Amino acid sequence: MLTEYQLRMPKHIIAGEHALEKLAEIINSDVKKIVLFTDKGILATGLVDLPKTIIEKAGIDYTIISDIPAEPSYHEAQSMVDLFKKEQADFIIAIGGGSVMDVAKLSSILATDEYQVKDLLENPLLAKKQVNSLMIPTTAGTGAEATPNSIVGVPEKDLKIGIVNPEMIADYVILDSRMIKNLPKPIAAATGVDALCHAIECFTSTKANPISNTFALEALDLIMNNIIEACTDPQALKAKSDMLLGSFYAGVAITASGTTAVHALSYPLGGKYHIAHGVSNAMLLTPVMKFNEPAIKELLAAAYDRVIKGGNQSLSIAEKSAHMINQLEKIVTVLEIPTSLKTFNVPSEDLDGLVAAGMEVTRLLVNNKREVTPEDAKKIYLEIL
Ligand SMILES: NC(=O)c1ccc[n+]([C@@H]2O[C@H](COP(=O)([O-])OP(=O)(O)OC[C@H]3O[C@@H](n4cnc5c(N)ncnc54)[C@H](O)[C@@H]3O)[C@@H](O)[C@H]2O)c1
Ligand SMILES: [Zn+2]
């Protein structure tokens, strides 16, 4: 049998101690004008200071665009792209979480007036890469530094939509654990569980294949065995660095495979109630894994064998699978991520609307090994309502 796989990822990845200092080598003499995307929260932490100094030392002109809101709508993303276009930059640096990186990635293919973000909602492949980009994630994380995706809110549909275009894949990535060292615990926890979802969903997706599994399993191993320490101990730099690598690998797994019903049913929660992406995924993780279990038991057992340190290999497949789901649930509980929509005042009358919006995310629902009917989606949402 002949099988063809396509592995798409950034060409150049710099990771580890003092990785950030390598910025000086990336922005060589060809670069004339840089736009540095970030947001106000990150600016306030001082995380942009070192990169700024390096750019200034290199004598390269730059502008900082920092008005990016968390989880932007496509209108908000377009206004950032419009600011970017005025600068006529020939290099993009994004320092931030998924929100910042997603806007930067859209800018890299929308530098001329030919297309708008709105056009890409209908036909994501229209635009081609115009400006090279470097992603420096400050959360671990969305894996947006690895993927061809940019996720924007679509208020008219009460949904978030993923624009997927390989032209948006970053050219350079810097993974430096200093960027996530002082992440506030609630953000570290929610973004970490997002990465965890990417790994386990991609591994249990209908699109999973040997290439994506290599990245998904390594990501799962790194994330499950480091997430609690990384989120709760500010000094745990090794755990944080492993989380950053794990979330990057999980991003590569998304590109080669795809997320499933956790992310699909999560999009309306972000789109309508603006629940943070990682939090809405965390809420749905256990209910969806329990729903999927009949179809993915063997896979969960294989994941157990790979990631549970000192696990009992003589357990049955059903026992290993149950243990994996318990561990996933435990992570969400220990990290104190809200698991009920009541926390966000979602009224029970909204249930049917949620189901209708969730069922629209066919791009990801088709990846789910067990078919999700509207009745199933309703039961899953009811568990967290
Ligand atoms: N493109 C992709 O492949 C992909 C994948 C998953 C999710 N996403 C999208 O990414 C967005 C979420 O990104 P996110 O979870 O990284 O969060 P985010 O970028 O929305 O940031 C959340 C908050 O954390 C703050 N923050 C970020 N880094 C910080 C740091 N080091 N210290 C202190 N504060 C910091 C920000 O200022 C912001 O207020 C959503 O829109 C989601 O849909 C994209
Ligand atoms: Zn995600």
Ligand 1: distance of its center to the CA of 222 in Å? 20
Ligand 2: distance of its center to the CA of 61 in Å? 34
Match 């997430």 to its residue by tokens. Answer: 227
C-alpha–C-alpha distance, residues 334 and 120, integer Å:
39
Give the closest residue (by CA) to ligand 1 atom 25.
41
Top mutation candidate among 99, 181, 196 for ligand 1, by most atoms within 8 Å of CB: 99
The predicted structure's pLDDT at residue 316: 98
Give the closest residue (by CA) to ligand 1 atom 30.
183
Which ligand has the shortest distance to the CA of 263?
2
C-alpha–C-alpha distance, residues 277 and 178, integer Å:
23
The predicted structure's pLDDT at residue 109: 98
C-alpha–C-alpha distance, residues 266 and 71, integer Å:
13
The predicted structure's pLDDT at residue 94: 98
C-alpha–C-alpha distance, residues 291 and 101, integer Å:
32
223-242 pLDDT per residue, tens:
999 999 999 999 999 999 99
- Whether the domain at 12-180 and the domain at 185-384 fall into the same CATH topology: no
72-103 pLDDT per residue, tens:
999 999 999 999 999 999 999 999 999 999 99
Residue 179, ligand 1, Cβ within 6 A: yes
**What is the dihedral sign for C-alpha 272, 250, 246, 55?**
negative
54 or 6: which carries more pLDDT confidence?
54
Contact status, residue 190 vs residue 136, Cβ threshold 8 Å: no
User: Within 10 A of 105 (CB to CB), how many other CB atoms are there?
Assistant: 30
- The region that residue 62 occupies, defined by phi over 0 for left and psi between -120 and 50 for alpha, beta otherwise, is beta
Cβ neighbours of residue 313 closer than 8 Å, sequence gap 6 or more: 305
CATH of 12-180, one of 3.90.470.20, 3.40.50.1970, 3.20.10.10, 3.30.30.10: 3.40.50.1970
The predicted structure's pLDDT at residue 1: 80
Cα dihedral 160, 8, 91, 31 in deg (nearest 10): 180
The predicted structure's pLDDT at residue 183: 96
346-372 pLDDT per residue, tens:
999 999 999 999 999 999 999 999 999
The predicted structure's pLDDT at residue 158: 87
Ligand 1: distance of its center to the CA of 145 in Å? 11
Strands 149-154 vs 159-164: parallel, antiparallel or unpaired = antiparallel
- Interval 18-34 mean pLDDT: 93
- Interval 214-231 mean pLDDT: 98
- Interval 174-190 mean pLDDT: 97
The predicted structure's pLDDT at residue 377: 98
Q: With bands split at pLDDT 50, 70 and 90, how would you rate the model's confidence at 321?
A: very high
Angle at 185 between CA 333 and CA 307, to 5 degrees: 55
Q: How far is CA 37 from the centre of its chain?
A: 17
Listed in order, strand segments (DSSP E) in the chain are: 12-15, 33-37, 61-65, 91-96, 132-137, 149-154, 159-164, 172-175
Cβ neighbours of residue 322 closer than 8 Å, sequence gap 6 or more: 293
C-alpha–C-alpha distance, residues 369 and 364, integer Å:
11
The predicted structure's pLDDT at residue 287: 98
Strands 61-65 vs 132-137: parallel, antiparallel or unpaired = unpaired
| Residues above pLDDT 90, as percent of the chain | 96
- 3-class SS of residue 315: coil
Ligand 1: distance of its center to the CA of 99 in Å? 5
Q: Atom of ligand 1 at shortest distance to CA of 146?
A: 3
Most distant CA pair in the chain, distance: 63
C-alpha–C-alpha distance, residues 317 and 69, integer Å:
44
Strands 132-137 vs 12-15: parallel, antiparallel or unpaired = unpaired
Single out the residue of 279, 287, 262, 269 nearest to residue 335, CA to CA.
279
Give the closest residue (by CA) to ligand 1 atom 6.
142
User: Mean of the per-residue pLDDT values for the chain?
Assistant: 97
The predicted structure's pLDDT at residue 84: 98
**How many angstroms separate the Cα of 226 from the Cα of each of 38, 220, 232, 238, 340?**
27, 10, 10, 9, 25
Q: Write the single-letter amino acid at 187.
A: I
96-126 pLDDT per residue, tens:
999 999 999 999 999 999 999 999 999 999 9
Name the DSSP letter for residue 355.
H
Ligand 1: distance of its center to the CA of 80 in Å? 16
Give the closest residue (by CA) to ligand 1 atom 17.
97
Q: Write the single-letter amino acid at 32.
A: K
Residue 287, ligand 1, Cβ within 6 A: no
265-303 pLDDT per residue, tens:
999 999 999 999 999 999 999 999 999 999 999 999 999
- Interval 152-163 mean pLDDT: 93
pLDDT beyond 80 at 206:
yes
Which ligand has the shortest distance to the CA of 276?
1
Give the closest residue (by CA) to ligand 1 atom 41.
71
pLDDT beyond 80 at 29:
no
Q: With bands split at pLDDT 50, 70 and 90, how would you rate the model's confidence at 68?
A: very high
Cα dihedral 189, 195, 198, 203 in deg (nearest 10): -110
Give the closest residue (by CA) to ligand 1 atom 19.
97
Give the closest residue (by CA) to ligand 1 atom 3.
144
The predicted structure's pLDDT at residue 2: 86
Length of the chain: 385
The predicted structure's pLDDT at residue 17: 87
Q: Atom of ligand 1 at shortest distance to CA of 147?
A: 3
Architecture of domain 185-384: Up-down Bundle (1.20)
Single out the residue of 249, 246, 247, 252 nearest to residue 222, CA to CA.
246
- The ranges assigned to domains in the chain are 12-180, 185-384
